[in-house]
Amino acid sequence: MVFGGFFALIGLALFVYAFVSAHSSMAYYYGQALLRKYGMEVDGVLTRKEADCQLHQFLDNNNRVNGEYYSCNLLVEFDYQFNGRNHSGAYYLNKADLFDKLREGDRLPRKVLRLDPSVHKVRERRLANMLKGREPEQPSRIPSGAEITQLA
């Protein structure tokens, strides 16, 4: 009887977790669809950029390094003004060449949902066109051959 109650409790916990995670995922994708349809173009100002890179090593059976690679998250933070209010936000870029060309104080093209300014995204294609002729900063903050993590 005790074990049956324990397994029922585990099943209930998994059901609640599945419901919460599905709701969160649906809310995110619903917000992105609304953004595509009803989003407004707003320019922000880049306030900070950060490359968070971790070294991952492959070890053999004798704990000797057999291979290694870097995995990087490219975070850009920005401020923008919308409906007379100041807002700030952050976004993970997916392209290392764009990240290297950006400088603090640059204009950042974005799309913002009119009713909820917390739903936003950086317009990466437009940003790439804006920075087409600019040289990347040297030295790069991203190690050569690093894998760029695709975060939402």
7 in a structural domain: no
pTM above 0.75, yes or no: no
**Does residue 124 form part of some domain?**
yes
Residue with the larger pLDDT of the pair 150 and 109:
109
Residue 32 forms part of a structural domain: no
The answer to whether residue 129 sits within a structural domain is yes
Q: Do the domain assignments include residue 77?
A: yes
Tell me: pLDDT of 152 over 60: no
Number of domains comprising the chain: 1
The range of the structural domain enclosing residue 144 comes to 40-148
> For residues 47 and 102, what is the distance between their CA atoms, to the nearest angstrom?
11
DSSP state of 98: H
Whose tokens are 């940003």? That residue is: 127
| Domain-embedded: residue 29 | no
pLDDT digit string (tens) for 110-146? 999 888 888 888 898 999 999 998 898 888 888 888 8
